[in-house]
């Protein structure tokens, strides 16, 4: 897609005037850094390309023992786990025991692009899934990420990379898929922050300027070393801008595991990317389906979501209008200053003269970037950088949820989260929590070491993050995450334990992402009834439930909480991005029987997956492929001592109004609910009595939803998959799974 085409499609917008080619450079002194490397191990392999989406081998590396070997991808792996997240979970299952903790050498970081990952014909087909035992939840976490590393790994010859062990020296792992060479090198001198490190290593390992597009770097950052919320950046070289760009495997603290293993970076040099490297069985179907979506994006995106201009940030003001934007730690759903961080601000602030796909061929191109951002704080103060984002989650989380309605500060917060290697969603929810604690006197300046965490104080918000990166002060405490902070604050006697537990927005140890769920029962389940913790990539049902009222009964909600998590799991098995599924829709989608599912796009995915593998796939096949992995992951959680009903408990802030002011802000809604649904006349009740009645009604309703969802999923009332369901899915080929569910009454 040429930049001229993008401009022509959106004539109503004016261009960003920032020079997008000027930024601070970090490659000076690169030769000295390289000279300090010592090769610890060199290993050769035969590069190969996939056939029908699979290379049929994965790469294992132990950074402690320096053992390197190939492992076969068996037919059973393909039949049961399909690929991507499924393969990752299977490898992790075999690597750990119920006693393994996140920082044990046995824990792994597994990067798995799925069988379609790397095709260039269909938008959003470059995703990798990263799996590890999470430092935050102590169960498996899966995080999907764009950038070039996964597809280039596949085109070098491997369906995935499995890293185990712990090093006692700082390492870089270099995989040269052109030469068939893997090198483990010490890297004592490189900085760890991602925007610097990825740029240096891209230049260091590319053979010439043209080769830079074949390099991708996986890295974390200095805050990942001192917190539990570390994330991984996956780079790609943006040749139009002449700089590296970053996409994030954010959730669950995988960057913390990465730095705990003393890995500074993984670097891949893949072959030159061409259009048919996955070698599908039926290339024509994939090409034809892709052309159809490219045309649809070009004609419909300008009148639908404007993803190609604003990315997911297009919904900031929409969420506000529907009273769903998280404001002040999810207390409220809208704010008078939202217009300062709305999509039209980002439209002007992000560079629009360049295509922004995080993998080749993605004409949705939503990986927006703000160029020429001059930093005002921290170790890079005065530097001029390109910020990847903000996406919706960053604008809403770092912005409205913390009361920061300043676009330039939001970009700086976004930038530092990325380069320090911490998850923006997680950091945002942490910051919102501590700001509310500050508001309510649970924290004060003495307890925060002088930080003034008043809503909207972006300067001290940034200072907290810089402290996290330095491993000092209150920032280090914040880096423990909401769950552990709640325990600490209660232990210290800093506030009412019930209030602290109610307002701390975490489930299973993972922080909520940035949608306000309290007025949508289905979304409450969509968050808390997940395998990995409350991330919106399983089931985003707010509109269906709260606005459309399409899910009036518990059974309707349970059906949605059956279908959508499985559908979304499927993206992670194959290596797809979710966004082209439903951030653009065919012109005649409204005439279909189930427009919410975008049936034409679902069929596109079935056609492409089938064409890749040489099989005919139906919707039922899709759900079964996902259900095998989804239930396997649930049983994995149980094996690790979690995964039961008690772990699906939701904090009350996600279910209803915790405080008087929250209740009063929507008093009409709550009193109507009491009258019409709970059968309680609020007249004559005190505010406290009305709040208690609302709480009881809503909590009971949540528990009833849990019962209904578990039944639909084939689980017991304690959340354990039944033996019958395990057998139905064919998972009984693994006797250990049967033994686990049996032991827990399944």
Partner 1 sequence: MNMIQVNGDPLAWSAGMTVRDVLTLRRFTFPMLVITVDGDLVDRKDYDTAPVPDGADVQVLHLMSGG
Residues that bind partner 1 (CB under 8 A): 303-306, 312, 314-315, 317-319, 321-322, 392, 515, 536-537, 540-541, 543-544, 547-550, 578, 582-583, 585, 589-591, 595-596, 598
- Give the integer Cα–Cα distance in Å for 341 and 280: 43
Cα 18 from Cα 680, distance rounded (Å): 58
The two structure tokens encoding residue 616: 């005919």
Shortest Å, Cβ 524 to partner 1: 15
Q: Which of 715, 721, 716 is nearest to 740 (CA)?
A: 721
Please state, as a whole number, how many other Cβ atoms lie within 10 Å of the Cβ of residue 594. 10
How far is Cα of residue 458 from the mean position of the Cα atoms in its chain? Answer: 24
Element (H, E) at 308: helix 307-310
Smallest distance from partner 1 to CB 122, Å? 19
Does an H or E element contain 579, and which? helix 579-582
Report how far residue 265's alpha carbon sits from residue 259's, in angstroms, rounded to the nearest whole number.
9
Q: Measured on CA atoms in the order 430, 478, 135, 159, is the torsion positive or negative?
A: positive
Closer by beta carbon to partner 1, 219 or else 343: 343
Please give the Cα distance from 474 to 238 (Å, whole number).
Answer: 37
Rounded to 5 degrees, what are φ and ψ at 181?
-135, 135
Within 10 A of 696 (CB to CB), how many other CB atoms are there?
A: 13
Q: At its nearest, how many Å lie between partner 1 and the CB of residue 591?
A: 7
CA-CA distance, 341 to 258, in Å (whole number)? 33
What is the nearest approach in angstroms of partner 1 to the Cβ of residue 549? Answer: 5
Minimum Å gap between C-beta 711 and partner 1 is 24
Least distance (Å) from partner 1 to the CB of residue 249? 18
Q: Is the Cβ of residue 85 or residue 262 nearer to partner 1 in the bound state?
A: 85
CB 99 within 8 A of CB 151: no
CB atoms within 10 A of CB 595: 13
Across the strands, what pairs with 69? 60
Q: How far is the CB of 483 from partner 1 (least distance, A)?
A: 24
Residue in the structure block whose two tokens are 């104080």: 457
Alpha helix (H) residue ranges in 659-733: 660-665, 667-673, 687-713, 723-728
Of 499, 503, 453, nearest to 477 (Cα)? 453
Peptide bond into 390 cis (omega under 30): yes
The smaller minimum CB distance to partner 1, of residues 334 and 716, is found at 334
Question: Toward partner 1, which CB reaches closer, 53 or 526?
Answer: 526
DSSP code of 168? S
* Closest distance of CB 530 from partner 1, Å: 13
What phi, psi does 102 have (nearest 5°)?
-60, -30
User: Where do the DSSP E strands lie in 546-587?
Assistant: none
Smallest distance from the beta carbon of 341 to partner 1, in angstroms?
A: 15
Sign of the dihedral defined by the CA atoms of residues 683, 686, 692, 698, in that order: positive
Q: Nearer to partner 1 by C-beta: 155 or 567?
A: 567
DSSP class of 734:
S
Closer to partner 1 by Cβ: residue 182 or 598? 598
Q: How far apart are CA 648 and CA 720, in angstroms?
A: 12
The CB-of-250 to partner 1 minimum distance in angstroms stands at: 15
For partner 1, the closer CB: 183 or 335: 335
Beta-sheet pairing, 384-388 with 369-374? antiparallel
Pick 452 or 594: Cβ nearer partner 1: 594
Q: Which residue, 283 or 563, has its beta carbon nearer to partner 1?
A: 563
Q: How far apart are CA 323 and CA 316, in angstroms?
A: 11
How many whole angstroms separate alpha carbon 118 and alpha carbon 106?
30
Q: Which of residues 317 and 461 has its CB atom nearest to partner 1 in the complex? A: 317
- Shortest Cβ 492–partner 1 spacing (Å): 36
> Which residue number, 221 or 525, has a Cβ lying nearer to partner 1?
525
- How far apart are CB 547 and partner 1 at their closest, in Å? 5
Minimum CB distance to partner 1, residue 520 (Å)? 12
Q: Can you say how many angstroms the Cα of residue 441 is from the centroid of all Cα atoms in its chain?
A: 32
Nearer to partner 1, 43 or 543 (CB): 543
Shortest distance in whole angstroms from residue 88 CB to partner 1:
22
Length of the chain: 746
Q: Concatenated DSSP letters for 186-252? A: E--SS---HHHHHHHHHHHH-SSGGGGGGEEEEE--HHHHSSS-B-EEEEEEETTTTEEEEEEE-TT
**530 vs 722 by CB, closer to partner 1:** 530
Minimum distance, C-beta of residue 602 to partner 1, in the bound complex (Å): 13
Task: Tell me whether residue 325 or residue 573 sits nearer to partner 1 (CB atom).
Answer: 325
Residue (257 or 410) nearer to partner 1, CB:
410
Query: In which order are the strands placed within the sheet that holds 68-72?
Result: 68-72, 57-62, 161-164, 109-113, 128-133, 140-145
Nearest CB to partner 1, comparing residues 392 and 512: 392
In DSSP terms, 507 is beta-bridged to: 510
Smallest gap from residue 586 Cβ to partner 1 (A): 11
């Amino acid at each position: 897609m040429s930049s001229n085409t993008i401009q022509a499609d959106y004539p109503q917008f004016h261009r960003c005037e920032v020079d997008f080619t000027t930024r601070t450079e970090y490659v000076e002194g690169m030769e000295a850094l390289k000279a300090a490397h010592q090769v610890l191990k060199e290993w050769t392999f035969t590069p190969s390309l996939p056939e029908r989406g699979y290379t049929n081998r994965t790469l294992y590396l132990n950074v402690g023992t320096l053992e390197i070997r190939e492992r076969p991808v068996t037919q059973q792996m393909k039949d049961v786990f399909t690929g991507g997240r499924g393969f990752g979970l299977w490898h992790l299952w075999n690597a750990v025991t119920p006693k393994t903790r996140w920082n044990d050498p046995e824990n792994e970081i597994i990067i798995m692009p799925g069988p379609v990952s790397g095709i260039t014909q269909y938008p959003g087909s470059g995703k990798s899934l990263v799996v590890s035992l999470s430092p935050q939840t102590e169960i498996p976490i899966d995080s999907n990420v764009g950038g070039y590393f996964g597809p280039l790994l596949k085109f070098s010859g491997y369906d995935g990379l499995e890293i185990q062990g712990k090093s006692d020296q700082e390492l870089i792992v270099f995989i040269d898929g052109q030469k068939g060479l893997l090198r483990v090198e010490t890297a004592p001198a490189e900085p760890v922050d991602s925007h610097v490190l990825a740029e240096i290593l891209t230049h260091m390992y590319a053979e010439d300027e043209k080769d830079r597009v074949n390099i991708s770097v996986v890295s974390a950052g200095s805050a990942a070393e001192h917190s539990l919320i570390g994330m991984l950046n996956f780079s790609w070289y943006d040749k139009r801008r002449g700089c590296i760009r970053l996409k994030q495997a954010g959730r669950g603290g995988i960057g913390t595991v990465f730095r705990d293993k003393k890995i500074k970076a993984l670097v891949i040099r893949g072959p030159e990317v061409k259009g048919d490297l996955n070698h599908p069985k039926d290339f024509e179907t994939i090409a034809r389906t892709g052309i159809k979506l490219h045309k649809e994006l070009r004609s419909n995106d300008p009148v639908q979501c404007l993803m190609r201009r604003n990315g997911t940030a297009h919904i900031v003001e929409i969420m506000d209008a529907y009273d769903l934007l998280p404001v002040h730690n999810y207390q409220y759903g809208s704010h008078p200053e939202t217009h300062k961080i709305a999509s039209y601000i980002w439209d002007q602030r992000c560079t629009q003269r360049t295509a922004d796909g995080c993998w080749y061929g993605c004409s949705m191109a939503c990986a927006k970037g703000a160029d020429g951002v001059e930093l005002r704080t921290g170790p890079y103060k005065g530097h001029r950088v390109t910020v990847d984002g903000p996406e919706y989650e960053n604008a809403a989380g770092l912005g409205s949820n913390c009361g920061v309605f300043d676009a330039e500060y939001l970009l700086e917060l976004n930038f530092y989260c990325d380069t320090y290697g911490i998850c923006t969603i997680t950091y945002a929810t942490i910051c919102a929590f501590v700001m509310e604690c500050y508001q309510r006197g649970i924290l004060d300046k003495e307890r925060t070491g002088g930080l003034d965490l008043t809503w909207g104080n972006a300067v001290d918000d940034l200072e907290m993050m810089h402290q996290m990166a330095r491993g000092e002060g209150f920032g280090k405490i914040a880096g423990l995450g909401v769950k552990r902070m709640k325990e600490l604050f209660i232990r210290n006697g800093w506030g009412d334990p019930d209030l602290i537990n109610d307002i701390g927005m975490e489930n299973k140890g993972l922080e909520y992402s940035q949608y306000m769920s309290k007025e949508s029962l289905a979304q409450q389940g969509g968050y808390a009834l997940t395998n990995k913790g409350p991330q919106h990539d399983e089931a985003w049902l707010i509109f269906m439930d709260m606005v459309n009222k399409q899910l009036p009964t518990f059974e309707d909600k349970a059906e949605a909480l059956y279908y959508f998590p499985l559908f979304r799991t499927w993206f992670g098995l194959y290596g797809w991005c979710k966004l082209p599924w439903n951030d653009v829709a065919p012109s005649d989608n409204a005439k279909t029987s189930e427009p919410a599912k975008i049936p034409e796009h679902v069929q596109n995915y079935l056609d492409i997956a089938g064409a890749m593998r040489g099989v005919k796939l139906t919707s039922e096949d899709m759900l079964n492929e996902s259900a095998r992995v989804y239930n396997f992951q649930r049983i994995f959680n149980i094996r690790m001592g979690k995964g039961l009903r008690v772990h699906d408990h939701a904090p009350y802030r996600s279910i209803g109004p915790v405080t008087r002011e929250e209740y009063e802000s929507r008093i009409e809604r709550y009193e109507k609910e009491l009258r019409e649904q709970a059968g309680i006349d609020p007249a004559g009740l005190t505010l406290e009595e009305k709040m208690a009645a609302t709480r009881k009604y809503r909590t009971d309703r949540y528990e009833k939803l849990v019962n209904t969802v578990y039944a639909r999923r084939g689980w017991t009332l304690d959340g354990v998959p039944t033996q019958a369901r395990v057998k139905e899915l064919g998972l009984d080929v693994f006797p250990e799974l049967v033994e686990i569910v049996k032991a827990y009454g399944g």
